[in-house]
Amino acid sequence: MKYIFKHLMIGLMTLSLASFADQSTEQTQEDQTQQEQDQRQHQRQDQEQDQQQEQQNQENCGVLGNSYIEIFVPDPCAHVYLQGQLMKTVRSHTRSFVIPGLETCKKYNYNVIITYGNRAESFDLVIKANQVQRIGVR
């Protein structure tokens, strides 16, 4: 009798575990489905925002704006050249420049050369209207 009872209990425990595993699997599948739906919704929202931003950009094409370049130099006596032209600024570790009259929806290439001591650093920048570009030299 003990033998039968023991095997009956083992069988019931196995059924309980199998039932729990099935429920757990179903819950995991439901969670994954919900996560996938959330991801698709976020992707749709991001796409809609990108489309709206692109439409606004297209509507504003041709509008003029300014771009800003901020340069951090290690030596306050450093020389800064923008497009090959020496920029006259106050001696400081931070140099700021405004580039006016840039059309939105266009990219502009600028070359910056910084000389200090016996060193020279060169940077090629791609800038757009209404942006701030920062450069740090060590």
Q: How many domains does the chain have?
A: 2
User: Which residue range is the domain that position 72 belongs to?
Assistant: 63-136
Do 21 and 3 share a structural domain? yes
Tell me the helices (H) and strands (E) count for the chain, helix number first: 1, 7
**pLDDT band at 57; cut points 50, 70, 90:** low
Do 131 and 83 share a structural domain? yes
Do 72 and 46 share a structural domain? no
Reading the block at residue 93, the tokens are 């570790």
Do 114 and 74 share a structural domain? yes
CA-to-CA separations, 93 to 36, 73, 101, 105, 127, in angstroms, rounded:
50, 5, 27, 32, 22
Strand partners, 112: 82, 123
**pLDDT band at 52; cut points 50, 70, 90:** confident
Of 102, 34, 126, residue with least CA distance to 135: 126
Interstrand relation of 119-127 and 64-72 (parallel, antiparallel or unpaired)? unpaired
pTM: 0.55
